[in-house]
């Protein structure tokens, strides 16, 4: 399930935390925490409109890299990030050779997938295959650039000490606290 569909989740937090981060928690699909120095957490990114929304795309890549994530991208995305000074490893698209994006999900190599597909190729079938793999292996899956920006901001906020465990409660939990 994409984070955008969870955007209407009511957010109650002690500190300012991204609504998408709160929505993901409420839906049972947590965003990854920023990696510790000894961890190697990878994020798979495949973005269709990189040049048209360059500022947001660069924000996503720079922020994830600065938080310590390793970026893995399909050819166009990896080339775009590398050309802009953000290190990004390459992975094949579905049917483009091995390993491909499904392989890295099935092998549990990634902790987050950001995929904004183009209306070309077999995009509907590819998107469905990626979504099914993410659901099966419990990998958060984001399909919009706005959702990706919000998720990155949420991960950054948690690393900065704003939010995280115990700061987000459901309405029922707040109701139970009323005496």
Q: Residues 119-139: pLDDT tens digits?
A: 665 666 778 889 999 999 999
Q: How many CB atoms lie within 10 A of CB 25?
A: 24
Phi-psi region of 7 (alpha: psi -120 to 50; beta: other; left: phi over 0): alpha
| Residues 6+ away with beta carbon under 8 Å from 104 | 42, 44, 72, 91, 110
pTM score, two decimals? 0.74
Strand 88-90 to strand 112-116: parallel, antiparallel, or no bridges (unpaired)? unpaired
pLDDT in tens, the chain (179 residues): 444 444 334 333 433 444 544 444 444 567 888 777 778 899 999 988 777 889 999 999 999 999 999 999 999 999 999 999 999 999 999 888 999 999 999 999 999 999 987 766 566 677 888 999 999 999 999 999 999 999 999 898 888 776 655 556 677 877 787 86
């Amino acid at each position: 399930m994409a984070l955008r569909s969870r955007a209407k989740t009511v957010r109650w937090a002690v500190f300012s935390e991204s609504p998408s981060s709160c929505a993901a928690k409420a839906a049972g699909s947590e965003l990854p925490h920023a990696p510790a120095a000894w961890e190697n957490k990878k994020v798979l990114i495949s973005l269709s409109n990189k040049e048209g929304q360059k500022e947001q795309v660069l924000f996503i890549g720079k922020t994830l890299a600065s938080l310590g994530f390793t970026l893995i991208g399909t050819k166009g995305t990896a080339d775009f990030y590398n050309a802009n000074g953000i290190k990004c490893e390459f992975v094949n698209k579905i049917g483009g050779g091995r390993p491909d994006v499904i392989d890295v999900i099935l092998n549990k190599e990634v902790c987050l997938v950001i995929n904004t597909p183009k209306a070309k190729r077999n995009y509907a079938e590819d998107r469905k295959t990626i979504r099914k793999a993410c659901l099966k292996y419990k990998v958060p899956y984001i399909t919009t650039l706005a959702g990706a920006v919000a998720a990155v901001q949420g991960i950054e906020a948690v690393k900065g000490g704003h939010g995280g465990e115990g700061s987000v409660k459901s309405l029922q939990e707040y109701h139970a606290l009323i005496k």
